[in-house]
C-alpha cells in the first residue's frame, strides 16, 4: 500500500544496483561520480541518447537497457532542462519522475548530482519525498494481485556527497511526507468505512505522537449550540463529530496557530440532492479535514516548535425524513441565524460553527480553513491553484509564498461588502447561498461572518484536494493537498528557530 518503498542514502562512490538513475541537463554532461560509474560506457549512452532524441529537457528521460560494462541492468537518465535552471521546488518532481518509472524495479540507485555538482541535502530530501509520493497507491480493497506485481518492496538508494547531512535533512521531510500520505488515505477511503465516528477514531491515533485529541459527539455539540453543523448532520443515521487536536511544541503561553477542516464524509447534497453522475467522488468532501489531520501528524512527528490547533467538523450530508429542508432556519454557536436555501451548500454551515468555536476558545494568532467548498472554484481556477480568501494581507502573502515553495499554489480571490450583502436573508441573519455567479466568494463571505477579528484565510480546495489529474507526485484520487503548504507556512513564519 503506502509503504512498499524504502529509501536509504549511500556515498556517491557506492556501486549501482539493478537500476541506475542519473541526471543530466541540456548540456548532456554528467557529474563526476556519474561519469565515473559510466566509465567506458559513456559513449554508448551518448549514442542511445541521440538515437532516442533525448536532449536532457525537463520532464524527458532516457530509459534503456544498461550498456555492457555497467553493473546495473537498466539505466535511466532524467532530464532536468537548461543547465542551472533547477529551482528548489523542482526537486520533488524529479523524485516523482523517477518512481513513475520504477514499477517492478527491486533495487535502484539514484545518483544525486548534475554536471554542476552534487545536490544539496535539502534538494536530496525533496527528491526522496517525491519518490515516495509518486509511488503511493491506495489498493487496500483490491483482493487480487496483478500478474506483474512481483516486487512488493522497492528499495531505493540515493547516492549523495554527504550521507549524514542527507539523512538529517530528510528526517523532517519524510515525516511531512507521512502526513501527506495520512491525508491521501483518508480521502481515498470509501464512505461506508470512513463515516464521522470512524474518522474521529483515526484522528485520535495522533495521540501516539503526543497530540491531545478531544472528540465532541452530538450531545457535546448540542450543549455548545452548534445548530448549523448539527442541522447538516441530522439527515444521517451516522452521528456527526467535531475533533479538536492540539500540538504543544511551542512555548507555554504562546498563542496557537489554528487550522480548520471541512469533513463532509459524504455529500449527497441532502434534500437539494445532487445528480447521480460522479456522485461517488463526494466521498472526498472531507479533504479539508484530512489535510488538517495530515498536517497535525506532520507537525507532531517532526516536533515542530509551535503550538497548533487542528479542528475538524465531521458530518454526512444525506437526504432523509429527518434531514433539514430548504427554508429551515438554524442557529449557530455564535448566535447568528442562517436560512437554508440549498441543503447542498452544507460545508459553510459546518465550518461556521467550528471556526467560531476555535476563535472563541483558543484566540489563535490566525486561522486557516481548508474546504472542498464550491464547484465554482473549479470553474474559476481549474485544478492548478486553490482559491485563497482572506481578511489579512500578511497571512495571504505568506500563504502565496509557501505555495510557490511547495508547488501547492494558491490564488487570491476578492472579498468585500458588495459580495457580503448578497447573502443577507429576508428571514434570518443570512442565507446559505447567494446568486449563481461568484459562488466561491459568497461562500467565503459567509465564513468570514464567523471569524470576527481573527486573522483568517479560507482555502477552497474543491479543485486541488481530490480528483485532480495525475501529476509527477500523485496518481491517486486524494492528493493530500495542503499538508506541505501549511507545514511550510508554519516552518517559515511561525516556528521558533532552533
Ligand atoms: N462539496 C461541494 C463542492 C464540490 C464540488 C467539491 C465539486 C468538490 C467538487 C459543496 O458542498 C457543494 O455542493 N457546493 C455547491 C454550492 C451551491 C449549492 C451553492 C456547488 O458548488 O454547487
Ligand atoms: Mn454540497
Ligand atoms: Zn460539500
User: Measured between alpha carbons, how far is 330 from 132 in angstroms, rounded to an integer?
Assistant: 45
Ligand 1 near 344 CB (within 6 A): yes
Q: What pLDDT score does 106 carry? A: 83
- In angstroms, the CA 55 to CA 68 distance is 23
Which residues have beta carbons under 5 A from ligand 2 (an ion)?
A: 267, 344, 346
Ligand 1 neighbourhood includes 479 CB (under 6 angstroms): no
Q: Check if the beta carbon of residue 466 is closer than 8 Å to that of residue 372.
A: yes
Cα-to-centroid distance, 400 and ligand 2 (Å): 27
Which one of 132, 262, 348, 449 is the catalytic residue? 348
> What is the pTM (predicted TM-score) of this model?
0.97
Residue 370 forms beta bridges with which residues? 261, 459
For the question of residue 274 being annotated catalytic, the response is: yes
Question: What residue spans of 39-90 are helical by DSSP H?
Answer: 42-51
Q: Which pLDDT score is estimated for 432?
A: 98
36 is catalytic: no
Q: Is 317 in the pocket of ligand 1 (CB under 6 A)?
A: no
Nearest to 289 by CA among 42, 97, 465, 475: 465
Write out the three cell numbers for 260: 480548520
Per-residue pLDDT tens listing for the chain (498 residues): 346 899 999 999 887 779 999 999 999 999 999 999 999 999 999 999 999 999 999 999 999 999 999 999 999 999 999 999 999 999 999 999 999 999 878 899 999 999 999 999 999 999 999 999 999 999 999 998 766 665 567 899 999 999 999 999 999 999 999 999 999 999 999 999 999 999 999 999 999 999 999 999 999 999 999 999 999 999 999 999 999 999 999 999 999 999 999 999 999 999 999 999 999 999 999 999 999 999 999 999 999 999 999 999 999 999 999 999 999 999 999 999 999 999 999 999 999 999 999 999 999 999 999 999 999 999 999 999 999 999 999 999 999 999 999 999 999 999 999 999 999 999 999 999 999 999 999 999 999 999 999 999 999 999 999 999 999 999 999 999 999 999 999 999 999 875
User: Strands, E, within 393-445: which ranges?
Assistant: 410-412, 430-431
Cβ of 374 below 6 Å from ligand 1: yes
Q: Which one of 462, 464, 469 would you pick to mutate in the ligand 1 pocket, going by the greatest count of ligand atoms within 8 A of its CB?
A: 462
| Ligand 1 atom closest to residue 264's alpha carbon, by position in its atom list | 1
350 C-beta closer than 6 A to ligand 1:
no
Q: How far is the CA of 90 from the centre of ligand 3 (A)?
A: 33
Ligand positioned closest to the Cα atom of 313: 3
Residue 2 is predicted with a pLDDT of: 46
C-alpha dihedral, 493 to 494 to 496 to 498, nearest 10°: -50
Angle between helix axes 287-301 and 196-204 (nearest 10 degrees) is 10
Is ligand 1 within 6 A of the CB of residue 462? yes
C-alpha dihedral (322, 325, 328, 334), degrees to nearest 10? 70
Neighbour count for residue 33 (Cβ, 10 Å): 20
Distance CA 256, CA 454 (A): 12
Q: Residue 102 corresponds to which cell in the numbers above?
A: 520504477
Three-state DSSP class for 382? Answer: coil
- H runs (alpha helix) in 302-392: 347-362, 376-381
pLDDT of residue 152: 62
Measured from the Cα of 274, ligand 1's closest atom is: 13
Q: Which of 101, 274, 331, 412 is catalytic?
A: 274
Measured CA to CA, the distance from residue 287 to residue 372 in angstroms comes to 7
Is the shortest distance between the CB of 372 and ligand 1 below 6 Å? yes
User: Residue 427: its pLDDT value, please?
Assistant: 98
Q: Is the CB of 460 under 6 A from ligand 1?
A: no
CA–centroid distance, 347 to ligand 1, in Å, is 8
**How far is Cα 220 from Cα 215, in angstroms, rounded to an integer?**
9
The pLDDT of residue 149: 60
Ligand nearest to the CA of 263: 3
Question: Which residues in 90-106 are b (16+ Cβ under 10 Å) and which e?
Answer: bbbbbbbbbbbbbeebe
Radius of gyration over every alpha carbon of the chain, rounded to an integer in angstroms: 24
Q: Could you tell me if 16 and 70 are in contact, meaning their C-beta atoms sit under 8 angstroms apart?
A: yes
Pocket test for ligand 1, best of 261, 284, 285 (most atoms within 8 A of CB): 285
Question: 402-406 long-range CB contacts below 8 Å, 24 or more apart?
Answer: 402/485, 402/486, 402/488, 402/489, 402/492, 403/485, 404/89, 405/88, 405/89, 405/488, 405/492, 406/89, 406/484, 406/485, 406/488
Amino acid at each position: 500500500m503506502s509503504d512498499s518503498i524504502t529509501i536509504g542514502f549511500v556515498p556517491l562512490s557506492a556501486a549501482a544496483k539493478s537500476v541506475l538513475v542519473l541526471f543530466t541537463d541540456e548540456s548532456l554532461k554528467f557529474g563526476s561520480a556519474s561519469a565515473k560509474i559510466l566509465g567506458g560506457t559513456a559513449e554508448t549512452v551518448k549514442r542511445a541518447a541521440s538515437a532516442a532524441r533525448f536532449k536532457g529537457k525537463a520532464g524527458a528521460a532516457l530509459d534503456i537497457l544498461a550498456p555492457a560494462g555497467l553493473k546495473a541492468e537498466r539505466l535511466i537518465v532524467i532530464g532536468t532542462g537548461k543547465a542551472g535552471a533547477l529551482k528548489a521546488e523542482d526537486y520533488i518532481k524529479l523524485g516523482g519522475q523517477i518512481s513513475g518509472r520504477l514499477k517492478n524495479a527491486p533495487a535502484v540507485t539514484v545518483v544525486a548530482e548534475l554536471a554542476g555538482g552534487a545536490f544539496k541535502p535539502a534538494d536530496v530530501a525533496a527528491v526522496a519525498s517525491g519518490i515516495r509520493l509518486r509511488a503511493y497507491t491506495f489498493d487496500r480493497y483490491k483482493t487480487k494481485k496483478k500478474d506483474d506485481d512481483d516486487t512488493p518492496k522497492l528499495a531505493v538508494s540515493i547516492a549523495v556527497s554527504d550521507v549524514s547531512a542527507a539523512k538529517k535533512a530528510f528526517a523532517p521531510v519524510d515525516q511531512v511526507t507521512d502526513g501527506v500520505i495520512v491525508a491521501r488515505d483518508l480521502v481515498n477511503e470509501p464512505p461506508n468505512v470512513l463515516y464521522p465516528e470512524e474518522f474521529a477514531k483515526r484522528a485520535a491515533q495522533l495521540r501516539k505522537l503526543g497530540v491531545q485529541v478531544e472528540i465532541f459527539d452530538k450531545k457535546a455539540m448540542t450543549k455548545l449550540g452548534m445548530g448549523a453543523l448539527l442541522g447538516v448532520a441530522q439527515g444521517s443515521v451516522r452521528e456527526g463529530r467535531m475533533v479538536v487536536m492540539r500540538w504543544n511544541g511551542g512555548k507555554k503561553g504562546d498563542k496557537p496557530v489554528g487550522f480548520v477542516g471541512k469533513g463532509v464524509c459524504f455529500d449527497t447534497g441532502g434534500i437539494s440532492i445532487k445528480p447521480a453522475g460522479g456522485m461517488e467522488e463526494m466521498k472526498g468532501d472531507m479533504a479539508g479535514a484530512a489535510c488538517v489531520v495530515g498536517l497535525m501528524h506532520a507537525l507532531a512527528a517532526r516536533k515542530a516548535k509551535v503550538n497548533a490547533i487542528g479542528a475538524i467538523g465531521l458530518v454526512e450530508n444525506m437526504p432523509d425524513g429527518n434531514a433539514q429542508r430548504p427554508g429551515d432556519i438554524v442557529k449557530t454557536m455564535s448566535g447568528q441565524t442562517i436560512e437554508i436555501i440549498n441543503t447542498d451548500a452544507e460545508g459553510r454551515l459546518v465550518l461556521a460553527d467550528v471556526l467560531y468555536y476555535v476563535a472563541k476558545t483558543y484566540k489563535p494568532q490566525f486561522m486557516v480553513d481548508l474546504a472542498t467548498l464550491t464547484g465554482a472554484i473549479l470553474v474559476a481556477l481549474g485544478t492548478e491553484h486553490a482559491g485563497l480568501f482572506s481578511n489579512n494581507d500578511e497571512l495571504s502573502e505568506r500563504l502565496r509564498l509557501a505555495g510557490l515553495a511547495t508547488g501547492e499554489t494558491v490564488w487570491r480571490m476578492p472579498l468585500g461588502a458588495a459580495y457580503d450583502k448578497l447573502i443577507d436573508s429576508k428571514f434570518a441573519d443570512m442565507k446559505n447561498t447567494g446568486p449563481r455567479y461568484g459562488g466561491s466568494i459568497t461562500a467565503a463571505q459567509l465564513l468570514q461572518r464567523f471569524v470576527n477579528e481573527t486573522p483568517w484565510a479560507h482555502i477552497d480546495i474543491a479543485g486541488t484536494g481530490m480528483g485532480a489529474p495525475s501529476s509527477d507526485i500523485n496518481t491517486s484520487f486524494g492528493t493530500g493537498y495542503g499538508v506541505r503548504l501549511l507545514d511550510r507556512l508554519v516552518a517559515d513564519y511561525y516556528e521558533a528557530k532552533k
